[in-house]
Amino acid sequence: MYMKADAENHVTRRPDGQRRGSRLRVAAACACLGWLAAAWAPGWAWAAGTACASASADHARSTPQRDPSPDLFAPVGPRDADVQPVSFADWWNRISGLWSGGDGGEHLLRVASPVRFRLDDGIVQAVKKVQPAVMGIVNYSQVSDFFAQRTRLETQGIGTGVLILKDARYGYIVTNNHVVQDAAQVDAVLPSGKHVRAEVVGTDPYTDLAVIRVPVDPVKSVTPPVFADSDAIEVGEPAIAIGSPMGLDFANSVTAGIVSATKRIMPVQMEQGGQTVVLDYQTVIQTDAAINPGNSGGPLLDIDGRIIGINSSKIAAPSVEGMGFAIPSNQVRHIAEQIIRTGHAEHPALGVTGYSLTALPDAYWPDVPVDYGVWVQSVTSASAREAGVRANDVIVGIDKHDVRTMADLRTYLFQYHPGDVVSLRLYRGHKLMSVKVKLGAMPAVRTAMARPAMGDDEEGDTLAPWSGFGGFLG
């Protein structure tokens, strides 16, 4: 095969008559650009290679092809001087065209606007807003000193509280009943470390809530945080816990997580006669924000620094992590207002015991056309019996509210007062019925040490056949 170099243009001619010099230069330039793009970022390599391939194809289309002929010296098309080189600007425009879908068109893959909100900034601001109102709560018991022949105060437990209200004389702090239970003296410990003697205004063992008060002067400059509507919170939204885990050495510790569930049923337990009994079942918020001993009574906040709950318990089994619980803010507000006004809280009683229908084993499943509601295990009050409520009924509504679980029934029921009359919608077999029941009152209970968290040797409530789903509604 015969080839020779054109001294003027340095174009290598081949028998097929195609001019190769300009293409070789374009290919070399493309290779260099591709190498540089690969060094900058993997994505640029693809773009550069694609653009250069496009440039080469355009050049090939602009070059007339010679009619196959043995004449090596026949015309082969335009000279090299007529071939326009691919500039950097052209290359950049071609890449831009690939990403925009053409010349000046819309982007095929749209890039989101920069996210200007940072979660950690929101947490920092929420904590700054609320932390001055969060206090350690010290429970002192009175013990006898045999040798000194006198009694002395000894720390029985440490929890957390949050300032929720101030008037001309006092600052009112909400905490857990089990934090101040059986206390001979209660101190509130300010963020500065100063101890202030507190007075127990009242407690409510059914919800594990208590209100204490301190003189207003030490908290005069502190702004109480506001309550959020706990019925409006959503699973997955941020949850921030502030408290004193493991004592005052770690006071005002902050942990963060999310709302794992908005309505869980957990037992409220207490000691009676040396035995642990279930006093009631409570609707709570579940969170994976770390809650440890000492966090009890502290606030659970949303990203805006509003109280969505009061931390009360956790599951402490060895195989369980990240399951803490808080009393919903709507219930906290309702109970705290009663305690501040009257020194105690009243709870309505429906007069039945029952379980969420979905929690029942198949053997107990009633013949009803629904798969939700509260199955009535037994009727315990004369008022409910006279209204026509019977065992094995399935309650599906109370007044205008639909009832799907025991948590729903308890939540709606506790919005009423003893003596109110409510309308229950229930199924008896396949028949939908409506009955009116006059609510009674939950019996008074001597405040005793509640056990809000399961210990390492406890797997759940041993007194109920389906732990966590049942309830005593009076």
Which sequence positions are flagged as catalytic? 178, 208, 296
- The β-bridge relationship of strands 401-402 and 421-428 is unpaired
E-assigned strands of 216-306?
A: 238-243, 253-272, 275-287, 299-301
What is the distance between the alpha carbons of residues 309 and 279, in angstroms, rounded to a whole number? Answer: 21
Instruction: Name the residue among 157, 458, 416, 411 with its Cα closest to residue 278.
Output: 458
> How far is 366 from 430, CA to CA, in rounded Å?
10
Task: Give residue 231's identity as a one-letter amino acid code.
Answer: D
Integer Cα distance of 2 and 14 in angstroms? 8
Planar angle of CA 205, 187, 341, nearest 5 degrees:
50
Helix (H, G, I), strand (E, B) or coil at 417: coil
- The four Cα atoms 321, 327, 328, 331 give a dihedral, to 10 degrees, of 170
Element (H, E) at 22: helix 21-40
H/E stretch holding 470 reads strand 470-473
Separation CA 94–CA 98 (nearest Å): 6
